[in-house]
């Protein structure tokens, strides 16, 4: 059994193997409680490790995912909530970030499948500006960008890229869900409409398919994003750490089937395809990014 937290508030030192085992459970979609049952570690020990490793993963990716030769980028936002669903947020916490609706903004390179930018925030114009500005600071050349029809992107992309971008929006058209499924199922997509906003984007690559598939990967890899879940984040700090850990694992550890096939069957991660790593990382190496308090 793994070492548990001491009553004096200091956590017994976990070995690299023990930390890697906990991280392995978390990145495969297990909740904190499930990870505790599997590994024998106390819940507080797991949460503390998640936060410290997540902070280290965020810092490492912030430094490393720079000057990238991406060509085609897709962006999207995915909903989750912290503390409580929006309708159940206490009156004294209404309007306070980290209580109720929280959105995760992501950008993926359609060629290497690298998630090069991610941000936790509201679904508003201010967060959109920060997110797109962060994205602009990571690419080394002109890109083709596709987003959904969220209007906040318009001003954000104009402010960060100006005319130095080929940008299009993909609007999805929805119909009503089948009777009896409306509560739990999203509306049915009945078509799409594209709008060229800036430059000359290639019509064949105006798509959000890869970023939408990444949304599914997030839901499968992080219990906090599962619909109708009781494994939601109680603190936005924990959500932020979980997202950073997820993308560190996705970018650097997890082999990508399409990339591996294109590379003659040699195991390939998005970071390898982007020239950021020579081999897949191990969970022990992710654990070594743990930040000390």
Residue indicated by tokens 């997820």: 246
Read out DSSP for 13-45?
PPPHHHHHHHHHHHHTT--HHHHHHHH---HHH
Computed over every residue of the chain, the mean pLDDT equals 88
Q: Which residues pair with 118 in a beta bridge?
A: 106
Q: Is the pLDDT of residue 242 over 70?
A: yes
Q: Is the pLDDT of residue 9 over 50?
A: no
Instruction: Give the residue-averaged pLDDT of 18-28.
Output: 95
pLDDT per residue as tens digits for the range 78-115: 988 888 888 888 888 888 887 888 999 999 999 999 99
Size (the chain), residues: 293
User: What is the C-alpha separation between 51 and 44, in angstroms, rounded?
Assistant: 11
Closest CA to 60 of 240, 245, 242: 245
Closest CA to 221 of 252, 184, 254: 254
Instruction: Give the residue-averaged pLDDT of 130-154.
Output: 97
What is the pLDDT at residue 175? 65
Read out DSSP for 58-102?
HHHHHHHS-SB---EEEEEEEEEEESS-GGGS-GGGTT-TTSEEE
What's the pTM?
0.88
Could you give the domains of the chain?
A: 16-287 (3.30.420.10)
Indicate the pLDDT class of residue 173, thresholds 50, 70 and 90.
low
pLDDT per residue as tens digits for the range 214-234: 999 998 888 777 766 666 778
Indicate the pLDDT class of residue 154, thresholds 50, 70 and 90.
very high
Q: In the chain, what percentage of residues exceed pLDDT 70?
A: 87
* β strands within the chain, DSSP E: 72-82, 100-109, 115-121, 144-147, 166-175, 188-198
What is the pLDDT at residue 95? 85
Name which residue leads in pLDDT, 202 or 82: 202
Q: Is the pLDDT of residue 13 over 80?
A: no
Displacement of CA 163 from its chain's centroid (Å): 28
What is the pLDDT at residue 284? 96
User: What is the C-alpha separation between 125 and 145, in angstroms, rounded?
Assistant: 18
Give the C-alpha distances (Å, rounded to integers) separating 285 from 24, 98, 255: 12, 30, 16
């Amino acid at each position: 059994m793994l070492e548990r937290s001491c009553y004096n508030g200091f956590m017994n030192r976990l070995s690299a193997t023990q930390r890697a085992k906990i991280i392995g459970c978390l990145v495969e979609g297990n909740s904190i409680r499930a990870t505790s049952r599997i590994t024998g570690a106390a819940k507080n020990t797991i949460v503390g490790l998640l936060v410290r490793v997540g902070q280290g993963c965020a810092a490492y990716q912030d430094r490393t995912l720079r000057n990238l030769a991406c060509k085609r980028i897709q962006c999207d936002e995915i909903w989750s909530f912290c503390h409580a669903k929006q309708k159940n947020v206490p009156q004294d916490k209404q309007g306070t970030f980290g209580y109720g609706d929280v959105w995760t903004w992501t950008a993926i390179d359609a060629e290497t499948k690298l998630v090069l930018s991610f941000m936790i925030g509201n679904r508003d114009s201010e967060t959109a500006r920060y997110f797109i500005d962060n994205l602009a600071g990571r690419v080394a050349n002109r890109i083709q960008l596709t987003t959904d029809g969220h209007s906040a992107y318009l001003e954000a992309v104009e402010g960060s890229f100006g005319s130095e971008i080929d940008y299009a929006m993909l609007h999805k058209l929805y119909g009503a869900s089948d009777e009896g499924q409306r509560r739990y199922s999203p509306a049915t997509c009945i078509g799409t409409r594209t709008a060229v906003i800036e430059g000359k984007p290639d019509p064949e690559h105006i798509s959000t398919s890869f970023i939408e598939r990444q949304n599914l990967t997030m839901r499968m890899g992080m219990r906090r994003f599962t619909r109708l879940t009781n494994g939601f984040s109680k603190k936005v700090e924990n959500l932020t750490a979980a997202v950073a850990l997820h993308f560190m694992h996705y970018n650097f550890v997890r082999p990508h089937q399409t990339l591996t096939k294109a590379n003659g069957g040699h195991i390939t991660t998005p970071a390898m395809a982007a020239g950021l790593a020579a081999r897949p990382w191990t969970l022990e190496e992710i654990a070594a990014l743990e930040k000390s308090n």
